[in-house]
Amino acid sequence: MKKQLFTFSLTLIVSINAFATSAKEVTDTMRLEELVITSSRIYQSKGNVTQKIDVITSDEIAEIVTGNRNIAEVLKMQPGISVSALSRNDANWGTYGGIGPKYSTFMLNGLPVDAFVDPMTLDLMAIERIEYQRGPASVIYPNYLSQDFAGNQSPLAGTVNLIVKEKFDETQTAFSTSYGSYNTFNSQVYHQDIINNTHIFAGLNYEMSDYTDYGIEDSWLNMKKNPEYRKTKVFGGANWFSDDGRQKFTLFGNKTMHSGDAGRIYRGFDHNYGIINAGYHLEISDNIIMQTNVGYRNYDRSWQESNFDVIDHLLSNNGVKQNIIPADISITAKHGENHVLTAGVDYQGADYYNWSDPLAGFKTYGNKSTAMQTGLYLQEELRFGRLILRGGLRFNYIKHNIHLVDGDKPGKRTTDWEKLLYSAGVKYNATDMISVYANIGTSFMTPGLKSIGGTIPAGDTSNSGQLPNPDLRPESGMGIDGGFDIRLTQNIMMSIRGFNLLVDDAIIENVVSQDPSQTMSVNAGKTSSTGVEFEVQHYISQNVDWFANFTYMKTSIYNPKDSDQDGASVPFSPEIIANAGVSLNAPFGITFTPMINYNDGFYDSSSLENRQYFTPGLLFNANISKVVYQNEKKSVSMFTQLYNITNNKYEMPWQFMNTGFSAMVGVRAIF
């Protein structure tokens, strides 16, 4: 497979350059360096921050095929990321920097969202760009206080910032409709407008499908028919700007309703998710900026459990509900020649409970808790010509109030923690063509209630879910990275980055049983991930550009107290990830964007005796579009999205599988 990957990549590069010789030459072959806000909450060019930051624009997002409708798949082509979205109905259990799925937080305009749930719920039509900060994230962003899935999430390996649309040049409406594999029908509508100083936008995305069996043969899913789903996303926003440009109010909301079944009677589900973001930005003076943001996240999931037999029997209705309120306020002060001081405070409040209705006419609660987290942070960025120095501190206070664990009163109701974290970085722009950088940062993360209390009782051998582990301890981490960026020519960029991530008492998800599907969170001793990333980007002309990247990661667990874990690798973390892609603007309005992703495989557990190895191999996708009509304000185009062209039906954890080749064909109009 590695030889095939090399041959394909070589052929792709040769073909690109051959095409480029006949492409129309233009003067603006090098894209301008994008402005970013992830590093310090204010706009800066990427050359002025110490961290490695990737910016994926809305045009680039539109070219990426997301077979499972998950925003995490847009990040699949970035170095160091392994995406493992189990299906269109399930979350991504991939890894960031080789250390696990919960060590890169997701944010929406700088406010945290859930890394497992919200990439499935937010709509890409609302996103202007995605900023991905690789490596130990700045102290100015907090953990996310989720209690569901793998629990709390930390920016130790990086952070993903989804930047919502904000300001428009003109009124515009877009509509698209498409049909494809598995009787999938999708329809989208989007509108943006300008009313005086207010820029507004709204959109709707509806999709329905007679999906397909996404379990391996004889899977515990026991699908008797094609699973069905219907997913509706409604979003909108309004942004007001003062006449002098020193103030702005921002408001964004998203509601997602996702319902269907898992392929048989009495395996229905009904999930509802809501997100609200509100913000205020004030330039107090030319050198002082104040920002405040507040949000609301609501997660309400329900599903059915049943016995699989000649005639299925409904066992229970089950659900999880979670509400989280994040808020922050910060002051940024520019001082001296070009220095930036940032100080702020943030807060999160959360409540969580899961329930079951065993057809007795009333709900019984399993786990129930509230939690809060507050942080104070201070960061200084000093710039002395070509040298940039950065340092910061964060003080975190976290408190958990546990009311129920597995339906019973806990032994200890209240637990709190205090932790001081630090982050530092340096960058030297040696010339206009070469820069070098290094960063270091720490993290601290408490276990989530789902990890402590589980969703099924201890000793249960017949039901799917998560087994409890009340003895979980908090984990502490440290990350370092360093590398250099080289502009080989005016339009060829190359970079090399190395990283090392260390976590003490790392909480990882072990697959305890495949049938039924059961997991358990465990402390895995000292966990480490060491890796190196190589990447090249070549902007040949406005008609042709291509990229390629390669990541090697070595992960290990040191736990001499448990011989079954000692020496194992981190679950869900491959050693080799490689990506390549090209965007071709051919004659007659045709755009062709093929991309390949290679993953050499990973284990699903840290247990040396019970783990299983999975080899995703090569995933080949392509997006093709053709403009059939266009003038200054209107355009109509046809498009085709091809997913998993080689029909690679690889197995994934919990007896899931990639469903193989699928396609969508549609039409898009903008006016």
Three-class DSSP category at 76? helix
What mean pLDDT comes out for the span 543-572? 92
The per-residue pLDDT for range 373-386, each reduced to its tens digit, is 999 999 999 999 99
Task: Check residues 118 and 21 and name the one with the higher pLDDT.
Answer: 118
pLDDT at res. 11: 40
CA distance 344 to 283: 16
Task: Check residues 30 and 552 and name the one with the higher pLDDT.
Answer: 552
Task: Check residues 337 and 331 and name the one with the higher pLDDT.
Answer: 331
What mean pLDDT comes out for the span 515-542? 88
pLDDT at res. 33: 59
pLDDT of residue 309 exceeding 80? no
pLDDT at res. 28: 30
DSSP notation for 388-448: EEEEEEEEEEEEEEEEEBTTB--S-SEEEEEEEEEEEEEEE--SSSEEEEEEEEEEEEPPP
Q: How confident is the model at residue 341 (pLDDT cuts 50, 70, 90)?
A: very high
Find all residues with CB under 8 Å of 13, minimum gap 6, and list them.
546, 548, 580
Residue at 262: amino acid letter: A
pLDDT at res. 310: 66
Mean pLDDT over each residue of the chain, to the nearest integer: 89
Residue at 277: amino acid letter: N
Element at 294 (helix H, strand E): strand 288-307
pLDDT at res. 282: 97
Please report the beta strands in 308-363, taking only residues with DSSP state E, as ranges in sequence order: 313-335, 339-357
Using alpha carbons only, give the angle 41, 42, 48 rounded to the nearest 5 degrees: 105
- For the ranges 22-31, 212-221, 470-479, 574-583, the lowest mean pLDDT is seen at 22-31
pLDDT of residue 508 exceeding 70? yes
Superfamily of domain 2-670: TonB-dependent receptor, beta-barrel domain (2.40.170.20)
pLDDT of residue 100 exceeding 70? yes
The per-residue pLDDT for range 442-471, each reduced to its tens digit, is 999 888 777 776 667 776 766 777 777 777
CA distance 525 to 294: 36
pLDDT at res. 29: 28
Hey, CA dihedral for 619, 654, 84, 556, is it positive or negative?
A: negative
Whether this prediction's pTM lies above 0.75 is answered by yes
Domain boundaries, the chain: 2-670
Residues of the chain with pLDDT > 90, as a percent, come to 70
Three-class DSSP category at 148? coil
Find all residues with CB under 8 Å of 584, minimum gap 6, and list them.
16, 19, 543, 544, 591, 592, 593
pLDDT of residue 224 exceeding 50? yes
CA distance 443 to 477: 5
Q: What is the separation, in whole angstroms, between the first and last Cα of the chain?
A: 46
pLDDT at res. 30: 30
Residue 54 CB neighbours (<10 A):
20
pLDDT at res. 159: 94
pLDDT at res. 14: 39
pLDDT at res. 42: 84
